[in-house]
Structure 1
Amino acid sequence: MIKPLLLLAAALACGPLQAAEPFPGRPITLVVPQPAGGAADALARSLGEEMGRRLGTTFIVENKPGASGMLGTNVVARARPDGHTLLVTNSTPVLTLPYMFDKVPYDVNRDLRFVTQISSGQLVLVVNHEIPAHNMKEFMEWAARNRGKVNYGSFGVGTSGHLVASYLSHSRNLDMTHVPFKGEVPLIQELVGGRISWGFTTLGPVVPHLQTGRLRALAVIADQRPKELPDVPTMAEAGMKDPEFKPMGWFAVLAPAGMPEAVSKRLEKEARAAIATPEMQARIQAYGMDAIGNSAEDARKEYELLAPVVERMVKTSGAKLE
C-alpha cells in the first residue's frame, strides 16, 4: 500500500488534474493585419460567418494593421496555439516582407502553420489606350523599340504589381522606370490619364475603364481567364511562362505553430467547407478572386514553391523597406 500512497501524494503535489480545453471553448479571434474595409478584412468577416455556423461559436475579427502587416502577423505568431486565435491575411506579410526587411519579428516556418488558402487574386497587365499594343507580342515589341523610355506604375514598392513588372522589365532587358503610388486608385487614375504607360492592377477596380476603352488589358496573371475578361489570355497563354508570372497574391488562414493536430484538422475541415459553400464562392468572385480552399499541406507546399521565386523577384527589383 505504500507505493500507491506515494504516487497519490506526488500527483496531489503537482496540483489538480486538468482536462484538455474543449474546442472551440470560447469565441475565435480572426486577426487581420490590414486595415478594415480591405479585401482581407472582407474575406475574414465572410469566412467567420460561415465557420461560426459550422463550429457553433462566435468569430471576432480584429484589425491590427501596422508595420506593413507585420504587427498583426506577429500577434498571431506569439499567440497561444489552441486554435482560438487565427490569422487571415494577404500573402505580403508571410511571403514578401521577410525578403524586404533585414529583420522581421517572426519566422514563418517556425512560428506559423497554414490552415488553408482562401483565394488568389488576379493581376491584369493594362496599358493606356494610346499605347500601340493589343496583345503581349505587340507590347513587347513596342517596349523594345522604346527601351529606356517607358514608365510603369505600381500600387506601392514591393507589392505584387511592382515585383512582377520589375521582373518583366529586367528579364527582357527593357530598362523601364518604376513609378510607385500609394494605393491602386491613384495608379489607375494616372494610367487612365496617360501619365503612366502601363502597369499591373487587380481586376475589380479596372474593369470599368476597360469597358470605356480608356485602358486595354493585354494579359492576366491567373490560372485561367477570368469570366469578366474571356478574350484576354493568361500570361502563360501569351507565351510568358516564367514561374514569376504565376499568381502570388493570395489570401490565407494561418495559426500559431504548435497547435494540437486534432484542432488543426478541425479548423482545416471547417474552413475548407466554408469556402466551398455557394455563398462564400459568390463573395470571393465578387472580390475579383478565384476561390482555393486547399488542404493545409497543399497551402504550405504552395508557399514553399513561391518563396524562392519571390526572393529572386525582390532582389531583382531592389525593393527594400526599413
Structure 2
Amino acid sequence: MHVASKVLSLDSDWLRAHPLPVPDIAADKNSRGRVLAIGGCATVPGGIQLTVEAALRAGAGKIQVATIESAALALGVAMPEIAVFSLPETDTGEIALTSAGALSDLVGRCDAVVAGPAMSDAKAASGLTGHLLTLCEAQMILDAAVLMNLSDHTDRLSALPRPAVLTPHIGELAAILGCAAADIEKDRIAAVKEASDRFGAVCVLKGSTSLIAEPGADVFAYAGGGVGLATGGSGDVLAGIVAGLCARGTPQLEATLWAVWLHGEAGRRCAEQIGPIGFLARELLAHLPGLMRAL
C-alpha cells in the first residue's frame, strides 16, 4: 500500500476557500443539475428515497430514479418532486440484470449518476456497473452493493474522463481491495489512498474519522459528526449529497469534501437538538440547505 505524504484537515476554512457554484438567478431546474439515482430492493425499498432527497437538498434541480417495479409507485407518491422509472426485478426483489437496456436513455439525460444505494445483490450490481461504464458520460458516484465487485471493472473505471466517486465503509473497502477489514484498520490512510490510485477515483472511507483521497494527492480527514451517524441510511444520504453537488457542476473532489462536511455537520446538529444517538438518517436532510448557506 502507498502512504499519503500528508493528511489535510477538512474544515470550514478550506470550504470557504472552495465555495460551491452559485446558480444564475434565471436558472431553470435543468441548469441547476440533473441526477439519476439507481438503486433499491424489496428488503430496503425506501433507502433510495434518502439518496434522492439528499440530492435535492444539496441543490440539484431535477431528479430521476430507477428502482424495482414493486417499489416505484410508492416512491413516486412519497416524493412528488421526482420522476420514477420502474425496472424489472428478480424473484428476490433485486434490480434484474435485464434492466440495463432500460437505463440507456435515462443516463443520457443527466449530469450525475449515483448507483448502488439500498441494493444488496453484489452480482446484479456488478452487471449494472459494467453497463453504466460502457455508456455513461455523466459524473458517477458508486455506493453500497456496486462496490463489492469493483475489481472486475478496474480498467474501465480508471479510464473514465472524469474520476468516479466511491463511498465505501470499511467492509466495502476491504472487498474493493481484496483484503481483510482488519488489515485496513491497521493503516486506513494507506488503504483509502490505494483504492483511489488503483481506480483513478475520489474515494471516501467512511468512519468516525472519514478519509477522502484523490489519485496522486494528499488525503483529507474529517472527524466531525459523531457516533449518531452510524445508523441505517446514513450512507445513502451521503451518496445523494455528493450526486447533487456534482450535478450542480462542483468538481469531484470538492463535491465529495463538501458532502462529507455537510453530512457530518448535519449529524452534529441532530445530536445537539435530538440527542447524540437515536436520530434518524432522514432527519439529517432538512439541515443541509442551511449549512450550505451558513458558509
TM-score by length of 2: 0.29
In terms of Rg, which structure is larger?
A: 1
Q: Which has the higher contact order (CA 8 A, sep 6+)?
A: 1
User: Higher strand share goes to which structure?
Assistant: 1
TM-score by length of 1: 0.28
